[in-house]
Every structure is written in C-alpha cells, then in structure tokens.
Amino acid sequence: MEKEFYSNGKLLLSGEYAILDGALGLAIPTSYGQSLHVTPTTTGFLDWASFNENKNVWFSAKFDLSNLNVISASDEAMAKTLKSLLLEANAQNPLLLTDSNGFQIETHLSFPRSWGLGTSSTLINNLAQWARVDAYQLLWNAFGGSGYDIACAQTNSPLTYQLKNSTPKIEIIDFDPYFKDSLYFVHLNQKQSSKAAIANYRKQAFDTSELVKKISGLTRRMISASTLSDFESIMEEHESLLFPILKMSPIKQRLFPDYFGMVKSLGAWGGDFILASGDEKSISYFKSRGYDTVIPYSKMIL
C-alpha cells in the first residue's frame, strides 16, 4: 500500500548557535515543506527520486534492498549520505525494509533547496515517520544539531525549543505579533553550511552559560514584544551578542548599512534567510540590491 508523509520547513527567529548549548529559541514552522511517497514494488531494489519545487528530479539513486549498497546514483556522495540515513532508520526498526520486496520512493520539495528551510530535516522527519522511529535520534545519530528543525517539522504552530539534559523541551506558543506585516524574510542568495558554521562556533572561547542566559532572555522578550520598536531593539541586541563570539560583523553592518529598518541573521550567519523589519518599501530596497527573494512574514509562516 502506498504511503505518504509530510514535514514542515523551519526558521529560527532567535537562539541561533546558542540553542546548541541549551538556550531557549523561538522557532516557526514554514508554509513550505517536503513530502515523501513510498510505493511497494517487487523489484528487489529501493529506487529513489527527489523532485525540486519545479517537479524536476534533482537526485536519483538505486539501492540493493538486501544490504542498501548503492547500485547507481546521480550523486555518489549524496547516495552515501542517504544510505547512512536508511541504515540508521533500519537499525532502529529492523522490520522497516521487510514490508515489501522493493520500494519506489519519491520526495517532493515545495521550496528551492538553496533556501535552507530544511531539506535535510524534513527528509529525516519523513523517514522517521515511515520507519516508525524517533526522528530526533535519527537526526543526532546521522548529522547532529539541536533538533529544533525536527520540532518544526512535526508542529503546526510557533514554538519555543530548548535542550535540557540533552532532551528537547518544546512549548507551543501564541506568537502572532500585530506588527507582523512589517516583517520580511530575505534570502541572501547563498546556502550556508550548518555543519561548518557550528564547527566555527565550537572553536570560539566564551562564557557559554552567560550567553545561554542572555539569549534565553532575549527570546522571552521577543515573544512578548508589544511594539515593533521593541522587537527591533531585541533583534539588534541578539546580533550584538553573537558577533564578537562568531567574529563576524552583523549582517546589516556588512550588507545593508543604509537600510531604514532593522536586520537580523537567522540560522548560520552569512547565508540563507535574514529577518528584516520595514514597510512596503522594503521589497524594492532589497530587490534593487540583487536580493529577489523577499517573503512577507505572513506568507512564510504556516
């Protein structure tokens, strides 16, 4: 019987980097995501095809079902990564690949891979649903990371996320700021490696507990901000806390010094999306500087 699974994309509004060490982060599931379709076959193979937002295949592979060895692939490195994920899922549930004598699997993204909204996390959560295993364990065993993206994949509302004793603490929150029409997400036209960004963060020397305390406080203030100016001040404070640790200039200072609103990095600094406050002139401002993907807050969130 054919099965279908779906997971939401993610954005972290506060807590980037520090969330790895237990800081409270504010996360939102996005209206974009990824689906996974599993069709049983009798071929003895696991045939995989990944489709992008334009319904074109961007990756394909064929695996021997008995041992998941790669028979052919459009990208060998990606096939090896996928194999490790499948092996981990099968290790957690050894009955996974016994349901059929073969499988045809398709994934379908509703957003460009370059956006950094969770191509990997949505895949992991979908695989975990199919395998009936713990998605966090699958993530941590395969890639590492805080796990907030898995929480977004599984949740249809804004949430706070915090690691306490290596255990995710998730709280659904009522975050619907009245000034949301003054918030925009702008893509920086490049994909940042989360793995490399985390490695750089880990190399730095700083008071981790103090950073966690301050970032957690900013997250709470961000959630309860009653005015746009308060929200902008928190965005600026968040940037100011992290740039001396990451040894990177805040994104506004680097790319948008003449912008009339506030700008905050999201996720791995230097790539993916940023959060900008502004008005109807914001879209034309960013587009005039070559940043064509400007999405209003209300269109991005689920």
Q: Are 229 and 262 in contact (CB under 8 A)?
A: no
Is a pLDDT exceeding 80 seen at residue 224? yes
DSSP secondary structure of 93-122: -TTGGGS-S-EEEEEEESS-GGG-S-HHHH
pLDDT over 70 for what percent of the chain?
A: 99
Nearest to 128, CA basis, from 68, 79, 84, 86 = 86
Q: Domains plus CATH for the chain?
A: 3-172 (3.30.230.10), 180-300 (3.30.70.890)
Q: Assign 209 to helix, strand or coil.
A: helix
| pTM attached to this predicted model | 0.95
Nearest to 6, CA basis, from 141, 106, 73 = 106
- Cα 236 from Cα 94, distance rounded (Å): 49
pLDDT of residue 198: 80
In total, the chain counts a number of residues equal to: 302
pLDDT of residue 59: 98
Using CB atoms within 10 A of its CB, is residue 96 exposed (0-12), middle (13-18) or buried (19+)?
A: middle
The rounded Cα 171 to chain-centroid distance in angstroms is 18
- Tell me the pLDDT tens digit for each residue of 141-159: 988 889 999 999 999 999 9
Q: Phi and psi (nearest 5°) for 63?
A: -120, 145
- Cα 2 from Cα 191, distance rounded (Å): 33
For residue 285, the one-letter residue type is Y
pLDDT of residue 270: 67
- Cα 269 from Cα 32, distance rounded (Å): 21
What stretches of 68-207 show up as alpha helix (H) in DSSP? 76-92, 119-131, 135-142, 148-154, 194-203
- Cα 22 from Cα 167, distance rounded (Å): 10
How confident is the model over 102-114, as a mean pLDDT?
97
Nearest to 143, CA basis, from 124, 129, 170, 165 = 124
- Tell me the pLDDT tens digit for each residue of 238-292: 999 999 998 889 999 999 999 999 999 997 776 789 999 999 999 999 999 999 9
**What token pair was written down for 151?**
């929480």
What secondary structure letter does DSSP report for 68?
-
Q: Which residues contact 52 (CB under 8 A, 6 or more apart)?
A: 58, 109, 112, 113
What secondary structure letter does DSSP report for 301?
B
How confident is the model over 122-150, as a mean pLDDT?
95
**What token pair was written down for 175?**
């975050």
